[in-house]
Structure 1
Amino acid sequence: MAQQNNKQNGQQDINQLLKVRREKLANLQEAGKDPFVITKYDQTHHSDEVKALYEELEKKVLGDRKAPNTEGLEEAEARKVIKEDYNEKREIMDAQPIRVSIAGRMLFKRVMGKASFCNLRDLKGDIQIYVARDAIGEESYADFKKSDIGDIFGVKGYAFRTMTGEISIHAEEMILLSKSLQILPEKYHGLTNVDLRYRQRYVDLIMSPESRETFVKRSKILSTIRRFLDAKGFMEVETPMLVANPGGAEARPFETHFNALNEDLKLRISLELYLKRLIVGGMERVYEIGRVFRNEGLDTRHNPEFTLMELYQAYTDYNGMMDLTEEMYRHIAQEVNGSTTITYNGIEMDLGKPFERITMTDAVKKYAGIDFNEVKDTEEAKALAREKGIEFEEWHTKGHILSLFFEEFVEEHLIQPTFVTDHPIEISPLTKKKPENPQLVERFEMFMNGWEMCNAYSELNDPIDQRERFAQQDANADAGDEEAQHTDEDFLNALEVGMPPTGGIGYGIDRLCMLMTDSPAIRDVLLFPTLKNQNNSSVPKSSEK
């Protein structure tokens, strides 16, 4: 009962605080100071730029001037010497002031008599503001004292360094640009409710510089990929999201209905088949970065909608794609993190060294002790699976069982960058056969941290072989494989027109971002991850009631 009463009292306190904020807004509006009528603000600098400019000016005008020597002085005398030195430096610096206009959200305020301090946070960080009544005027200072944490201000003034050494802005004008009517979480703990961080990412970004930096890095990863591929002669393109026959991957699609045509459509699960149509059309190097949708489970590495990058290059094969992948991953790490060595969950991974290359069969032999070259047929493979406790479907063949052994016994060991090559044909319906062994295909997957990071082929360009592979996929679907691909007649027609030898790769951008930002879950690198829907009335407010 006491706990329930405390909860009710806490709710009443929060409701009262919210009411006070709305009353403050109403008072401002009645006084002709409505912040919401302001349409723009001239922001000349960000917080980090102000600090950098001031430090640069200090070096220029003060040189290597050292702090005064107070050794042997009494405490009062030492303070006097330090203050005199500070005032002298301040006078020199103020003679050529750095005037700035910044804007940001107030996250801290300490009100004193005639002068106060607050902290503003903008895109690039935090900066302290010194607010003096004599500098901004009596009326503005009175309004500032009534402001709330979370309010957004525009500040004009000049940079200086306080006696404690903090570069700050001496405000000469403060304008309230937006009134916050909600209560932000407590500053030093941030938004501690993990589910709420994902549901109210806007609050998470305000309170957590680390979260904001993650998404700044994600943006940099994407721009780095684009610059890298553009420099290699690739062209960025866009292909349909709504399709009649999703293909290019083994996954269950989301389904929808298009009213205008009275047709059922699906959301794409891959980018592959349309991009390969463009290779047929003579666009020799193409790539797309876009959302794909797979109707499957949620966990730390899976979200039903995620970002995929696929590229296709004519006149090369999966060996060329391995070289390109190794070069690109190394380049991204260097550009984004400043090193080809990255650390994830305390484990170092070195992208600077040549990536290991191992066949799937050899990997299973190495980690499971079973040589599938010596497994005669499907029945023997199934017997081995039963012996090792690996579940399989009745329609599975020897190649499927090899893949299951790989998933069970090998993946977790592939921590350093590793290319796993030469997959069984049964699990690779869009890939060229190896000429010397038609039961295997020219395919690789790249692994890091035990995760599949990308998937690549020598693309199948034989339309007769491709039709047979699609027919087998249709048979698998009839046998109960819900993720099997289906025959795509228009894609087969494109192959009959003629596609050159081609290499292709698919990269999962979100897992790449997880590794590069040391993020434990895919939801930490998605601004708005998929969550179970809640009624508005049941979603807690920013104060984490």
Structure 2
Amino acid sequence: MEDNDQRLQRIKKLETLRQLGVQPYGTRFEVKDRAGDLIRLHGRKSKETLEQERIECTLAGRIVALRRFGKAAFAVLQDGADRLQVYLKKDLLGEQTYRICEELDLGDWIGVTGRLFRTKTNEFTVEVRSLTFLSKALRPLPEKWHGLTDVETRYRQRYVDLIANPSVHEIFITRSRIIAAIRSFLIERGFLEVETPMMHPIPGGATAKPFVTHHNALGMDLYLRIAPELYLKRLIVGGFPRVFEINRNFRNEGISTIHNPEFTMLEFYVAFADYTDLMGLTEELFVRLGREVLGRTVIDYQGRQIDLTPPWRRWSYHQAILEVNKLDESVLRDRSSALAAAKQLGVEVDPNAPLAAVLNEMFEETVEPHLQQPTFITDYPIELSPLARRKDSDPTLTDRFELYIAGREIANAFSELNDPLDQRRRFEAQASQRVAGDEEAHLVDEDFLRALEYGMPPTAGEGIGIDRLVMLFTNQASIRDVVLFPQLKPEK
């Protein structure tokens, strides 16, 4: 009720402004200066220096603090993540303009022109000579807008979060810089940026449950992409030797601190390379990001220092399970032994699950938490890697790695399977699993198989989760803190 009363009062002020000849939702205002730039360039200058230099400025922003003193007032303007105090004085503005100032509220947008000076309390301030009203806020800022901590409100009303917590701006500025640096890194190395379909006739490229939509004109179901992999490989077949896409993927799965149904991935493919080539490239990329974005290669993350300095540890999947849990090699071959080991370790598994699934549950529960420093886990079983090339030295394993940092998967890469007959057999095995009830198993993609039959050169490909990467570089524990508008349950 209190908020509604304030809203009604603000609507009355809206009418008063119109009666004063002011357009409360104005048009163009020429901004010549930004608050942050003024603070950086002149914020340390003394009162005497500012008086001598007589620096004029024109800026605009939202009022986030307001103090009135009869014929004068101080307001704080928020311009992006920066704030600068302005001094509104009746003698300087004139009676008509100062009358407008009396209708100002927290949240309103104004543009001002004035001169930089320091107040008697030595605060860096703009002495306003002219004021333009730009937009009336009808809703008051939250009571504790200056320290908004309610998670539900922060995620659901990101626009309020950005007003209330200027530090949040830095997270998304960093995100933008990371993506720009990735794009620059790859283009410098001869990669072509491409765009592939977001609606697929057959979901593929990852093990995940898709979102389904329907195209009325074609009379067919389509699937929001779970990964661009199969289309990017088609481009390798077509003769592009290095391609990448920074893409949106959609997976109809649970929501958690590391999962959002809609997320951003980098995927890139290199012809004539294998997965070991991508390890070096990945190390090089992360070092470049650390230096360009943060200015360092040691990152503080959730109370732990992560050192990106290469070379990173390389640890085989099976060896990691055995070493962390001090198990005998028999668990890798015998399902009963694996089930017994899982029970002993307190890892819940389906007693009817195949051996590969039991081992994978053990890996996720017991090994992943140990992978704090950058680690390449290599040599995944073929059952977990339907699109990866078999190892020449052991056909039960694949030429694949996953990169783990801070206990979570950041990247997945492998030497691509380019044998169309082997790929068909694996697709068919996946399809059988789907018939048995595995909704995430691959379907047989006949067009992709046809593309492979035209010949794909030896190729290595990798996917990097941008959201998790941003979490790491901005020291955020939840994916919702690095996605501007995360998916939430409907508002009550």
Same fold? TM cut 0.5: yes
Matched, 1:209 2:166: yes
User: Aligned match of 2:39 in 51, 61, 64?
Assistant: 51
Contact 2:50 2:116 (C-alpha < 8 Å) held by counterparts: no
Q: Which residue of 2 aligns with 1:15?
A: 4
Matched, 1:140 2:97: yes
Contact 2:60 2:109 (C-alpha < 8 Å) held by counterparts: yes
3-state SS, counterpart of residue 339 of structure 1: coil
Matched, 1:309 2:297: no
CA distance in 2, matches of 1:143, 1:128: 18
Q: Which residue of 1 aligns with 2:181?
A: 224
Contact 2:283 2:310 (C-alpha < 8 Å) held by counterparts: no
Describe the superposition over 1:474-519 as per-residue Cα deviations: whole angstroms up to 9, x where unpaired.
Answer: 1111222121111111111111111111111111111111111111
Describe the superposition over 1:211-250 as per-residue Cα deviations: whole angstroms up to 9, x where unpaired.
Answer: 1211111111111111111111111111111111111111
Calculate percent identity across the aligned residue pairs: 47
Amino acid at match of 1:49: D
Q: Which residue of 1 aligns with 2:317?
A: 360
User: Aligned match of 2:24 in 35, 55, 58?
Assistant: 35
Amino acid at match of 2:9: V
Q: Which residue of 2 aligns with 1:77?
A: none
Matched, 1:286 2:274: no
Contact 1:25 1:34 (C-alpha < 8 Å) held by counterparts: no
Q: Which residue of 1 aligns with 2:65?
A: 108
Describe the superposition over 1:392-449 as per-residue Cα deviations: whole angstroms up to 9, x where unpaired.
Answer: 4577433333322211210000001100000000000000011010000000000011
Pairing of 1:378-457 with structure 2 (within 5 A):
378-386=335-343, 388-393=345-350, 396-457=353-414
CA distance in 2, matches of 1:330, 1:437: 32
Q: Which residue of 2 aligns with 1:153?
A: 110
Matched, 1:268 2:225: yes
CA distance in 2, matches of 1:388, 1:415: 21
Contact 1:372 1:402 (C-alpha < 8 Å) held by counterparts: no
Q: Structure 1: give runs of 5+ residues left out of the alignment.
A: 1-10, 63-85, 539-545
Deviation at 1:384, TM superposition (A): 4.0
Change (3 A) 1:274 1:373: farther
Mean CA deviation greater in 13-22 or 100-109: 13-22
CA distance in 1, matches of 2:418, 2:358: 26
3-state SS, counterpart of residue 397 of structure 2: strand
Mean CA deviation greater in 18-27 or 155-164: 155-164
Q: Which residue of 1 aligns with 2:469?
A: 512
Contact 2:29 2:111 (C-alpha < 8 Å) held by counterparts: yes
Q: Which residue of 2 aligns with 1:131?
A: 88
Pairing of 1:300-379 with structure 2 (within 5 A):
300-372=257-329, 375-379=332-336
CA distance in 2, matches of 1:31, 1:331: 56
Normalising by structure 2, report the TM-score: 0.96
Mean CA deviation greater in 14-23 or 102-111: 14-23
Describe the superposition over 1:80-122 as per-residue Cα deviations: whole angstroms up to 9, x where unpaired.
Answer: xxxxxx5xx1xx5334322111010000011113322110001
Deviation at 1:161, TM superposition (A): 2.6
Change (3 A) 1:119 1:467: same
CA distance in 1, matches of 2:352, 2:382: 15
Normalising by structure 1, report the TM-score: 0.87
Q: Structure 2: give runs of 5+ residues left out of the alignment.
A: none
CA distance in 2, matches of 1:249, 1:376: 26
Change (3 A) 1:227 1:466: same
Q: Which residue of 2 aligns with 1:180?
A: 137
Pairing of 1:65-104 with structure 2 (within 5 A):
89=48, 93-104=50-61
Amino acid at match of 2:281: L
Amino acid at match of 1:219: S
Contact 2:80 2:166 (C-alpha < 8 Å) held by counterparts: no
Mean CA deviation greater in 407-416 or 136-145: 136-145
Change (3 A) 1:148 1:55: closer
User: Aligned match of 2:482 in 506, 520, 525?
Assistant: 525
CA distance in 2, matches of 1:115, 1:32: 22
Contact 1:368 1:405 (C-alpha < 8 Å) held by counterparts: no
CA distance in 1, matches of 2:311, 2:143: 47
3-state SS, counterpart of residue 396 of structure 2: strand
CA distance in 2, matches of 1:29, 1:277: 61
Contact 1:395 1:479 (C-alpha < 8 Å) held by counterparts: no
Deviation at 1:377, TM superposition (A): 4.1
CA distance in 1, matches of 2:85, 2:344: 67
Amino acid at match of 1:197: R
Q: Radius of gyration: which is bigger?
A: 1
Change (3 A) 1:52 1:385: closer
Deviation at 1:39, TM superposition (A): 1.8
Describe the superposition over 1:108-147 as per-residue Cα deviations: whole angstroms up to 9, x where unpaired.
Answer: 0111133221100011400010111121111111211221
CA distance in 1, matches of 2:416, 2:207: 16
User: Aligned match of 2:450 in 478, 493, 497?
Assistant: 493
**RMSD (Å), alpha carbons:** 1.8
Change (3 A) 1:496 1:396: farther
Describe the superposition over 1:15-44 as per-residue Cα deviations: whole angstroms up to 9, x where unpaired.
Answer: 2221110000011123321221x2211001
CA distance in 2, matches of 1:377, 1:467: 28
Change (3 A) 1:304 1:372: farther
Aligned residues: 492
Change (3 A) 1:210 1:55: closer
Describe the superposition over 1:51-81 as per-residue Cα deviations: whole angstroms up to 9, x where unpaired.
Answer: 223258x4xxx8xxxxxxxxxxxxxxxxxxx
Deviation at 1:199, TM superposition (A): 1.0
Contact 2:386 2:426 (C-alpha < 8 Å) held by counterparts: yes
Change (3 A) 1:466 1:393: farther
3-state SS, counterpart of residue 217 of structure 2: coil
Contact 2:72 2:90 (C-alpha < 8 Å) held by counterparts: yes
Amino acid at match of 1:408: E
User: Aligned match of 1:169 in 106, 123, 126?
Assistant: 126
Contact 1:361 1:373 (C-alpha < 8 Å) held by counterparts: no
Deviation at 1:380, TM superposition (A): 4.4
Pairing of 1:185-204 with structure 2 (within 5 A):
185-186=142-143, 189-204=146-161
Change (3 A) 1:328 1:418: same
Contact 1:234 1:285 (C-alpha < 8 Å) held by counterparts: yes
